[in-house]
Amino acid sequence: MNLTIRQLQAFREVMRTGSVSEAAKILGRTQPAVSSMIAGLENELGVEMFKRQRGRLVKKPEAEYFLTEVDAILNHLSTTVRTMKEIGKLKKGRLRIACMPAASQFMIPRLIAKFLEDKPNINVSLMMRTSAVIEEWLTSQQFDVGLAETPPLNHALHTKIFNLKCLCALRSDDPLSSKKVITAKDLSNLPLATLNEGHPNKLATEDAFRKEKSILNQRFEVRNFQPALKLVEEKLCYCICDPMSASGYLDNQGGFTKLLFKPFEPYVGLSVSILQPAHRPPSLLAEMFVDKLTEELNKLIEQYG
């Protein structure tokens, strides 16, 4: 097949205007250029589209039929091109994000909101799941981007690791609030809210207390830090929480806040990762979002050390 899109466009314009000269003007070419495009078209298809009578072109039935097809084809092409250009400018697209609970409360929604500010036609789906499920979903390429606790090495996943330092949450009127840094010793035997048994954060906290030979008095066991912080607000306990939850809490309280977050020692870490399917390059959209997310996490690390 040896047709060109320009020939089809020229044909359509000639059909519309009924004249080679007129079509040429509209297409921004000279009349002979259009004339020869039409001739080439007729030649290629082996069909005479116009009768040349009295110096004019008169459409033949064959041309009418061809026009309907050409018109559909050109329209389809041009909407496709438009869509692609919008994708290129991040104006259109789809982004599937899977996210661990700690970040899904405030951080990710806020980030998405900001990311979508100038992108009204992007379709985003956000799912909150445990890190293990997120890992699985990313591996099977059902999602574009995941944020989860760093999973064991998995060659089907591209992981970008961030080591976050957990903080101690306490009321601003707490006696300890004057200290710059809270230590395990400070909290020895004081009531604590922790995550469930076996969670990396819980384990790391236990380690920290053991290292300092302090007593971990676990008063509450919670699934994520959202409710834990409420308990701290009520003066019922302390908690060693990750900085994403902390920053989410602070942002959400809008300046007026009952809680303080202080550095905690010894180090209680939380290793989270941005996950992407390996062996499948990300869409431009995913790439941009990952950039934003990376930026955000680095800001968090910088801020809380």
Partner DNA sequence: ATGACTCCATAGATTTTTTTTATGGATAGT
Partner DNA sequence: ACTATCCATAAAAAAAATCTATGGAGTCAT
Which residues contact DNA by CB under 7 A? 4, 6, 19-22, 28-33, 35-40, 50, 52, 54-57
Q: Identify which of residues 89 and 292 has a Cβ nearer to a copy of itself in the complex.
A: 89
Min separation Cβ 278 and DNA, Å:
13
Min separation Cβ 28 and DNA, Å:
7
Min separation Cβ 118 and a copy of itself, Å:
16
Helix (H), strand (E) counts: the chain: 12, 13
Min separation Cβ 84 and a copy of itself, Å:
4
Min separation Cβ 46 and a copy of itself, Å:
3
Residue at 117: amino acid letter? E
Min separation Cβ 272 and a copy of itself, Å:
25
The SS3 of residue 140 is coil
Q: Which of 268, 295, 252, 259 is nearest to 164 (CA)?
A: 268
Residue 179 interacts with, from DNA, a copy of itself, none (CB under 5-8 Å by kind):
none
Q: Identify which of residues 37 and 240 has a Cβ nearer to DNA in the complex.
A: 37
Min separation Cβ 50 and DNA, Å:
7
Tell me the C-alpha to C-alpha distance, in Å, between residue 14 and each of 57, 128, 179, 291: 9, 57, 83, 49
Residue 32 interacts with, from DNA, a copy of itself, none (CB under 5-8 Å by kind):
DNA
Of 32, 39, 48, 235, the one binding a copy of itself (CB under 8 A) is 48
- Separation CA 128–CA 244 (nearest Å): 15
Tell me the C-alpha to C-alpha distance, in Å, between residue 93 and each of 84, 124, 145, 285, 287: 9, 8, 14, 7, 12
Site for a copy of itself in 54-113 (CB under 8 A): 58-62, 65-66, 69-70, 72-73, 76-78, 80-81, 83-85, 87-89
Q: Are 125 and 97 in contact (CB under 8 A)?
A: yes
Residue 66 is encoded by which pair of tokens? 């061809």
Residue 300 interacts with, from a copy of itself, DNA, none (CB under 5-8 Å by kind):
none
Classify residue 213 as left (phi > 0), alpha (psi -120 to 50) or beta.
left
Q: Identify which of residues 32 and 305 has a Cβ nearer to DNA in the complex.
A: 32
**Is 283 near a copy of itself (CB under 8 A)?**
yes
Residue 19 interacts with, from a copy of itself, DNA, none (CB under 5-8 Å by kind):
DNA
- Separation CA 212–CA 200 (nearest Å): 18
Report DSSP state, residue 282. Answer: P
**Is 289 near a copy of itself (CB under 8 A)?**
no
Q: Are 50 and 38 in contact (CB under 8 A)?
A: yes
Q: Identify which of residues 46 and 120 has a Cβ nearer to a copy of itself in the complex.
A: 46
Q: Which of 259, 240, 234, 263 is nearest to 171 (CA)?
A: 259
Whether a cis peptide bond, with omega within 30° of 0, leads into 266 is yes
Q: Are 272 and 151 in contact (CB under 8 A)?
A: no
Contact residues: a copy of itself, CB under 8 A: 1, 3-5, 45-48, 50-51, 53, 58-62, 65-66, 69-70, 72-73, 76-78, 80-81, 83-85, 87-89, 144, 279-284, 286
